[in-house]
Amino acid sequence: MPVYIATQAFLDGVDSVPFIWPILKILPWLGALYLVKIFFSGASNTNERNMHGKVVMVTGGTSGIGEAVVRGLASRGAQIVLLTQHALSDPFIVEYIEDIRKDTDNELITAEQVDLASLHSIRTFATKWIDNAPPRRLDMVVLCANTQTPGSGMVKSTTEGVELNWQVNYLANFHLLSILSPALRAQPPDRDVRVLFGTCSSYMGGDLLHITQQSPSNQTKGKARGASSAQQVQEPTKFSPGNAYATSKLALTIFALAFTKHLSTYKRPDGSPSNTKVLLVDPGFCRTPGTRRWLTWGSLTGLLLYLFLYPFWWMILKSPDMGSQSFLFAGMAEKFRGVGKEYGRDAKGAVLIKECHERPFRRLEIVDDEAAQKALWEYSERMVQEAEKRGAMERARVKKEEQEAREEGVAVKEMEDYTAKVGKKEGVKKEGSRRSKKAG
């Protein structure tokens, strides 16, 4: 068809082609829209790596970017261990795993039930994972799980009393990796081990002054020693759902750099340096369920507005597959294979990846401050201990109530059986019985 039209235009003139001028006017606009879409789609991963035999643990792998990452790694032969809040007998997770296996031609896709909103659930899984001799193989941990509370007035907490954004985006990752760190350290020295954190540029707006600044008593001592006025007057930003997400991402960034140093300080029995590389990945803005929920403010009106503006969102937001490209780059690029002088990399440094390129960290005065890292680590450990105590008390309360309900039900049943038996023995006519009806 294009050849025929071009021939007609050449022989009979351009005006002989129907609707040629409206088409020629529209083409530049279509070309411009195409270039805009390509620009906002971001960079693609061009690295490849043989993933056969590699064991990859993934959080948040059942939707959005995490699902795209799982498909990308599974299609290359990786053995995937999905950490999901769904019960393993849930039809959704069963069908999801079957679909992934079929689409990627990879049967090595399994799942473990781990609720990231529960520190008890995380500990149960992680301790079971490391309680194995010899240590289980673990080549990569991909932390894609993410949540963001919509709106400006809603504060949600877990059953253990932890704010939801802080729990899922940061504390769950801290708790999981703190327990799994022996498993990472125990991997053979020639194994390429990587830990990928899903982050966001919003960390630059976070505030951890309530954790990293001096306590009031210490500030008083600081004044006596002549501490600077800037250190004395700093006050934390009041918590709100609006800054909860950014604060959780800032804490995650600080922890990622601290975790790298934590791994590197371990002296392996074989004398080899740490072989675990920590990488933070910023996938950019994508059309994921979480982004949609945030843009719509969790309301029906917002959802209708989102649908009305969908062509705009489709244009400027990445697809989940394009968002996964930076994760795949971080997991496959050969230059991230190892740490240490032989690889030209500092064993104590993490790497930030965005658009399949290394990027410098922002707010280095905070994220790379060892005092801030230590304060956050100690604060997180105390928070985990307190939250787990609250969770244990809540589980004990629920268990006691269930036990009392069962005992009460048994007692009522026994009383009913006894009453029926005594009534029958003494010849008492029960209401509604055949004898009572006959007597009536």
Between 18 and 177, whose confidence is greater? 177
pLDDT tens by residue, 399-416:
888 888 887 877 777 777
Asked if residue 431 is part of any domain, the answer here is no
Total structural domains in the chain?
2
In percent, how much of the chain has pLDDT > 90?
43
Between 424 and 182, whose confidence is greater? 182
Question: What is the pLDDT averaged over residues 373-379?
Answer: 92
pLDDT tens by residue, 135-176:
899 999 999 998 887 765 567 888 888 888 899 999 999 999
Asked if residue 195 and residue 243 are part of one domain, the reply reads: yes
Query: Residue 221 has what pLDDT?
Result: 42
Looking at the predicted structure, is the pLDDT value of residue 179 above 90?
Answer: yes
Residue 245 is part of a domain; what is its CATH number?
3.40.50.720
Asked if residue 131 and residue 16 are part of one domain, the reply reads: no
Asked if residue 410 is part of any domain, the answer here is no
Looking at the predicted structure, is the pLDDT value of residue 242 above 90?
Answer: no
Asked if residue 433 is part of any domain, the answer here is no
Give the confidence band of 7 by pLDDT, cuts at 50, 70, 90: confident
Looking at the predicted structure, is the pLDDT value of residue 346 above 70?
Answer: no
Lowest mean pLDDT among 84-93, 116-125, 197-206, 214-223: 214-223
Asked if residue 186 and residue 78 are part of one domain, the reply reads: yes
Looking at the predicted structure, is the pLDDT value of residue 434 above 60?
Answer: no
Query: Residue 258 has what pLDDT?
Result: 93
Asked if residue 245 and residue 108 are part of one domain, the reply reads: yes
Q: Among the options 54, 249, 318, 354, which is catalytic? A: 249
Asked if residue 102 and residue 28 are part of one domain, the reply reads: no
Asked if residue 303 is part of any domain, the answer here is no
Query: Residue 364 has what pLDDT?
Result: 86
Query: Residue 240 has what pLDDT?
Result: 64
Query: Residue 380 has what pLDDT?
Result: 93
Asked if residue 157 is part of any domain, the answer here is yes
Catalytic site residue 424?
no
Lowest mean pLDDT among 80-84, 88-92, 210-214, 394-398: 210-214
Owning domain of residue 20: 2-41
Query: Residue 267 has what pLDDT?
Result: 84
Asked if residue 110 is part of any domain, the answer here is yes
Give the confidence band of 428 by pLDDT, cuts at 50, 70, 90: low
Looking at the predicted structure, is the pLDDT value of residue 79 above 90?
Answer: yes
Asked if residue 194 and residue 259 are part of one domain, the reply reads: yes
pTM for this one?
Answer: 0.81
Asked if residue 22 and residue 138 are part of one domain, the reply reads: no
Query: Residue 211 has what pLDDT?
Result: 77
Asked if residue 239 and residue 156 are part of one domain, the reply reads: yes
Asked if residue 125 is part of any domain, the answer here is yes
Residue with tokens 């210490």: 218
Question: What is the pLDDT averaged over residues 252-261?
Answer: 93
Between 414 and 95, whose confidence is greater? 95
Lowest mean pLDDT among 22-36, 116-130, 253-267, 299-313: 22-36
Asked if residue 171 is part of any domain, the answer here is yes
Q: Could you tell me how many residues make up the chain?
A: 440
Question: What is the pLDDT averaged over residues 31-45?
Answer: 87
Asked if residue 240 and residue 200 are part of one domain, the reply reads: yes
Give the confidence band of 213 by pLDDT, cuts at 50, 70, 90: low
Looking at the predicted structure, is the pLDDT value of residue 105 above 80?
Answer: yes
Looking at the predicted structure, is the pLDDT value of residue 343 above 50?
Answer: no
Report for 85-99, 266-280, 299-313: range of highest mean pLDDT: 85-99
Q: Which of 388, 409, 426 marks a domain boundary? A: 388
Report for 202-206, 287-291, 295-299, 319-323: range of highest mean pLDDT: 319-323
Query: Residue 230 has what pLDDT?
Result: 36
The rounded distance, in Å, linking the Cα atoms of 435 and 429 is: 7
Instruction: Output the average pLDDT for the chain.
Output: 82
Looking at the predicted structure, is the pLDDT value of residue 389 above 70?
Answer: yes
Question: What is the pLDDT averaged over residues 371-381?
Answer: 92
Report for 7-21, 150-164, 339-353: range of highest mean pLDDT: 150-164
Asked if residue 96 and residue 219 are part of one domain, the reply reads: yes
Looking at the predicted structure, is the pLDDT value of residue 59 above 80?
Answer: yes
Q: Which of 364, 388, 412 marks a domain boundary? A: 388
Can you give the chain as a three-state secondary structure string? Answer: CHHHHHHHHHHHCHHHCCCHHHHHHHHHHHHHHHHHHHHHHCCCCCCCCCCCCCEEEEECCCCHHHHHHHHHHHCCCCEEEEEECCCCCCHHHHHHHHHHHHHHCCCCEEEEECCCCCHHHHHHHHHHHHCCCCCCCCCEEEECCCCCCCCCCCCCECCCCCEHHHHHHHHHHHHHHHHHHHHHHCCCCCCCEEEEEECCHHHHHCCCHHHHCCCHHHHHHHHHCCCCHHHHHCCCCCCCHHHHHHHHHHHHHHHHHHHHHHHHCCCCCCCCCCCEEEEEEECCCECCHHHHHHHCCCCHHHHHHHHHCHHHHHHHCECHHHHCHHHHHHHHCHHHCCCEHHHCECCCCCEEEECCEEECCCCHHHHCCHHHHHHHHHHHHHHHHHHHHHHHHHHHHHHHHHHHHHHHHHHHHHHHHHHHHHHHHCCCCCCCCHHHHHHC
Asked if residue 89 and residue 8 are part of one domain, the reply reads: no
Report for 18-22, 345-349, 388-392: range of highest mean pLDDT: 388-392
Question: What is the pLDDT averaged over residues 190-217?
Answer: 80
Asked if residue 89 and residue 67 are part of one domain, the reply reads: yes
